[in-house]
Structure 1
Amino acid sequence: MMILSTKLFWKEQEKHGDIKNKKIDVKNLEGFTVLGDENFAKKAKVKRVLPKWLANPTIISVNLQNLKTKVSEVKLLDKSLRKLLKANGIQYFFPVQAEVIPWLLKANSHTDVIFPRDVCVSAPTGSGKTLAFVLPIIQALKKHSVKRIRALVILPTQDLANQVFKTFKIYAQNTNIDVCLITGNHPFATEQNQLITDNKAFGPLSKIDILVCTAGRLVDHLKMTKGLDLQHLEFLIIDEADRVLEKQPSLQTGKILNLFSLQKRRPPQKLLFSATLSQDPEKLQKLSLFQPKLFTSIVAESGEAPDNIVLNMETFVGKYTTPRELAEKYVITSLDLKPLFLYKLIKLEKLTRSIVFTHSVESAHRLAILLKSLFKSELKIEEISSNLQGKNRSVLIDKFSNGEIDLLVCTDALARGIDLPNVQCVVSYSAPKYLKTYIHRAGRTARAGEAGLAVTLLHPSQLAKFKGMLQQADKQNVEELTIPEEDLEPLGEQYKQSLQELKQFIEKEEKSDLKQTMSAKRKRKT
């Protein structure tokens, strides 16, 4: 009855022109509840309130073309380390290094008086984050003569751990600092022997000063290696921090990060580094950070200094950045012709020293076989995935770095942190599901100030989701690269032949695997 009366009321008002010519005074409409009137006040938007350290970060430029800080000018850094930098061809520090290294050196010059603040660094891949923590740690630990594990560096993958280990070894030259790498590439007993020596008088003693490791292997050693002592730790570094904590939740819940609350001495200084470091206060709270300091990068407009950038913190927090030198494109493809689109893309862009990412080990394997068939001897193509043992992976990565391999087809096992020099292009054959995945894939190219290209192959149905994902990072510069299907028609017969060769190769592999399985079963029975 009330609804009917309301409709009649509005019709009467329309007849007399009350609605068309003036606004209705809603407050004076007795007996009626008017919903959705434009005069109703909108609810005020709740503003995000951030902790002071997140709301006031130190902004770092990602411009690697105009380096201003000479290594020789950073007098806080030991002369011996400056000489080693020069010997390795480093004359200028990247922006992240120029900001973080002096800050850490100053913070650790007064540790006897005051606890050093924890540090979070969010900067694009290839911007020099590794050296930003390696140099201050080596300088701080040079004063010690007794062997203790004083720095622990945790990484998400074997490849990245090996890379960081090599950097530590280079800059620990001419010091008494011993660095150890444990990732599971060697037998457990061998790693234990690298870590601990059994002294008859004093029991188990540390043989090292710096331990570089993967998260899972560290947890294993904490459980089973007698005498592994982290009570003298001065630095806890988590590189690619978000990935480490995703893979090993136990690092959040107390096995590592909260282990040091029971110490009689000061807890270690925590240093967290990542291109996609979470800036969610609730997640960061779990890390028990002490008076944290945030360094973060944004892509400034050309010529704009970081000090002049005004941030909108409501949209800034949680944003990820990519290097200024990175060109980003996407190609619309049909599913059945997707490999052929990739083949044509490689031809058009004349790609070598490039990486192609797929979503699974099986997909990487099949695509590598198909591309080898299509290109014949024209390009050297290999695949790399979690199926490969550590030594074989390292051999392939070294060959690719030396230019002996043109295309690496891989899974996201290679997407995090690993530094492959002079990568021309990264192709996402399988569209990334998450923004983090896209950022880390693209981060394999355009490193250390070099130009690079990232291309994503998309089915038309994936385009809207892909663009929506990019909007999360305020990316407006991703362009479409058009490859007409008509250009693929002359390749039809070649494509059919390659598909047939792929089928035959897979069938041969399956028969071989079946024979091996049956043989293994017979051996177990006998």
Structure 2
Amino acid sequence: MELFVVNRHEGDQLQEVPENDEQSKLDKVLKKIEKNKKLRLKQKEKQSEIQSAKQKTIEARKIRREIKASIISVPENTNNEFIDKTVEEPIQNESINTEKPSNKKRRLDPALLEGFTVLGADNVSNKTKVKRVLPNWLSNPSIISVNLQNLETKVSDLKQLDKGLRKLLKANGVKYLFPVQAQVIPWLLQSIHDSQVIFPRDVCVSAPTGSGKTLAFALPVIQALKKHTVKKIRALVILPTQDLALQVFKTFKMYTQNTSIDVCLITGSNSFAVEQSQLITENKVFGPISRIDILVCTAGRLVDHLKLTNGFSLKNLEFLVIDEADRVLESVQNDWLYHLEKHIHLEEPGSQDVHVLNLQTLQKHRPPQKLLFSATLSQDPEKLQKLSLFQPKLFTSIMENQEETNNIEKPRESFIGKYTTPSELSEKYIVTSVELKPLFLYKFIKMEKLTRSIVFTHSLESAHRLTLLLRTLLEDKVKVEEVSSNLQGKSRNQLISKFTGGEIDLLVCTDSLARGIDLPNVQCVISYSAPKHLKTYIHRAGRTARAGEQGLAVTLLNKTQLSKFKGLLEQANKTNVEELIIPEDDLEPLEEKYRGSLVELKKIVEKEEKLNLERTLVAKGNKKTRKKRKRQDSVGTGSNT
């Protein structure tokens, strides 16, 4: 019957718990409380340990800082043993004296501080300067004299040179060879003769501008190519500018008279199609055939023909001449060096790598002999590495004040003769203020009665405005013209011809005329804008004192530019540059004239700007008119159809 008994709900009355169960529950609660206490204690201990560790780290750092300070300013009672221990071993003793060091400084033996950089210390010797080690061919060149007054080598004495070339030299008034020609030509001729047996060495020549470098490579190349009867491009001459390329081309044409050698010039002055016809002729049987033996060119135009001219080949190249080599190598125009190397070493399918040196590669892929010429030859290993020179031979010239030290053994890191100028060159500078610089220039021109002189500026705008100002100041008593890259080839050549003929007295130009151009009988070169680089100064000054003639180079400087200019000259070991003083008191009578010239200059410039604006608007209007007519013509044609 108990199965059917139903217990009634009597509310939330607490059931009675036996006494033993209540005690057990209480014990469990107490144990849990005790356990939590222990956990909290452990956490506190861990936190305290972490905090103490941090504190110890801070204290250790503080001790290290104090020790470093003590090394710079060491107390007198500190011995050397303490310094050695703190520098070489970690800090273990926590009882180190951390009192504030004395202000008295004590000089230490630098050997004690070895391996430890002390910031702000004035008693630590400077680090040893790393010395570069140049290859033997750069540090031990063959020395060329720069004295062009006492020429000793007669053309008739150079028996290695072809008789016909000697006759042409005499016919052109060349009786004596310049020092660079007297040394380089015989060496190259012997090298060419020996190349039938041994691989020819590459040649680098660093000599002043106007010292005869063009003939030094032109004559040996012409003599070597006389033996060939089949037309192939066997000599390639690369130059940085059209003017220089034209100048070298004329030299080759002059000395290839009465020979079967054909010379071609490609610089972009003619159309591309005309240049292609000069290079290649089409034969119905044999296809494209070369028409020339020697190619004179600029780097950018060369790449265009390598890519686009069918049949243009340099696989038979024997000589690669790079004149003004430092500037040509700096040029990245069309990546010319990469394309030239790729074309010269063009491989047949399945052939071996051309960089593997063996009998097969020497016979099939013999690279040309490289001839580098410059007044400021680069010694940058990265640039020279690109050329892959083979056992190069260096010829360089030095100034007379260095000749006494020729026999002294040079350190391997020195490159003598990198920057040289002719001994006939006189160099001076004038310190001026910015506002009065044109007036100083005018006064100097009047003092020296200058003719056949060149004035260099840093920009086209500066050259143009200076030309206008000098014209108003000189009042047409001195003929002044400007030459810049804006001038087209024919106009530019005409101006240069007038200058060399004496019709123009002053030529104002940018540095586009500073490289290699042979302008005979230049009396003075003036740097109106101070040169930023030594190379710029060397090439500007090289426009005068050429071929043994006397010349003067003058630089106008602000007071802030003087120290930098002297620093540039020190790089070339130039210590004989004198200051030319023009007192400002001498300029006072010219004040009114100068102000009037500035006013006149402003009027001319404003007139030119207005005229240029009108031309621009007319050109835009004509363009719109042409477009409108085209649209009307197209509409009319559409309606008729």
Same fold at TM > 0.5: yes
Alignment of 1:448-463 (within 5 A): 448-463=547-562
Contact 1:60/1:306 (8 A) holds in 2: no
Q: What is the letter of the counterpart of residue 352 of structure 1?
A: T
Q: What is the letter of the counterpart of residue 199 of structure 1?
A: N
Q: Does 1:208 align with 2:292?
A: yes
Q: How many residues align?
A: 515
Shift in Å at residue 486 of structure 1? Answer: 1.2
Instruction: Tell me which residue corresponds to 2:108.
Output: 37
Contact 2:300/2:333 (8 A) holds in 1: no
Contact 2:139/2:412 (8 A) holds in 1: yes
Contact 1:61/1:305 (8 A) holds in 2: no
Contact 1:148/1:207 (8 A) holds in 2: yes
State TM-score, norm by structure 2: 0.76
Match of 1:71 among 134, 155, 159: 155
Alignment of 1:443-482 (within 5 A): 443-482=542-581
Shift in Å at residue 44 of structure 1? Answer: 4.9
Alignment of 1:37-436 (within 5 A): 37-40=108-111, 44-248=128-332, 253-262=337-346, 264-301=364-401, 304=403, 308=407, 310-317=409-416, 319-436=418-535
| Partner deviation per Cα, 1:57-82 (whole Å, 9 max, x = no partner) | 11111111111111111110001101
Give the structure with higher Rg (CA).
Answer: 2
Contact 2:135/2:412 (8 A) holds in 1: no
The gaps in structure 1 that reach 5 residues or longer are 14-23
| Partner deviation per Cα, 1:386-422 (whole Å, 9 max, x = no partner) | 0001111111111111111110000000000011001
Structure 1 runs of 4+ off > 4 angstroms? 7-13, 24-36, 41-45, 249-253, 304-307
Instruction: Tell me which residue corresponds to 1:18.
Output: none
User: Which structure shows the bigger proportion of residues in helix conformation?
Assistant: 2
Instruction: Give the Cα–Cα distance (whole angstroms) in 1 for the partners of residues 281 and 186 of structure 2.
Output: 36
Instruction: Identify the structure with bigger relative contact order (alpha carbons < 8 Å, sequence gap 6+).
Output: 1
Contact 1:51/1:281 (8 A) holds in 2: no
Contact 1:329/1:480 (8 A) holds in 2: yes
State TM-score, norm by structure 1: 0.93
Instruction: Give the Cα–Cα distance (whole angstroms) in 2 for the partners of residues 522 and 46 of structure 1.
Output: 65
Instruction: Give the Cα–Cα distance (whole angstroms) in 1 for the partners of residues 71 and 212 of structure 2.
Output: 68
Instruction: Give the Cα–Cα distance (whole angstroms) in 1 for the partners of residues 405 and 494 of structure 2.
Output: 41
| Partner deviation per Cα, 1:321-363 (whole Å, 9 max, x = no partner) | 1111111111111111111111011112221100000001111
Identity %: 69
Contact 1:258/1:288 (8 A) holds in 2: no
Q: What is the letter of the counterpart of residue 154 of structure 1?
A: I
Contact 2:73/2:106 (8 A) holds in 1: no
Instruction: Give the Cα–Cα distance (whole angstroms) in 2 for the partners of residues 289 and 7 of structure 1.
Output: 53
In 2 relative to 1, CA 27–435 (structure 1 residues): closer, same or farther, beyond 3 Å?
Answer: farther
Three-state SS of the structure 2 residue aligned to 1:66 is: coil
Contact 1:101/1:136 (8 A) holds in 2: yes
Q: Does 1:490 align with 2:589?
A: yes
Shift in Å at residue 262 of structure 1? Answer: 3.4
Higher mean C-alpha displacement, 242-251 vs 71-80: 242-251
| Partner deviation per Cα, 1:405-463 (whole Å, 9 max, x = no partner) | 11000000000001100111111101111111111001101111111111111111111
Instruction: Give the Cα–Cα distance (whole angstroms) in 2 for the partners of residues 180 and 192 of structure 1.
Output: 11
The gaps in structure 2 that reach 5 residues or longer are 1-62, 88-104, 115-124, 348-363, 626-641
Shift in Å at residue 3 of structure 1? Answer: 5.3
Shift in Å at residue 311 of structure 1? Answer: 3.5
What is the RMSD of the two structures over their aligned residues, measured on CA atoms?
2.3
Shift in Å at residue 464 of structure 1? Answer: 1.1
Instruction: Give the Cα–Cα distance (whole angstroms) in 2 for the partners of residues 4 and 114 of structure 1.
Output: 65
Instruction: Tell me which residue corresponds to 1:17.
Output: none
| Partner deviation per Cα, 1:158-198 (whole Å, 9 max, x = no partner) | 11111101111110011011111111111221111111111
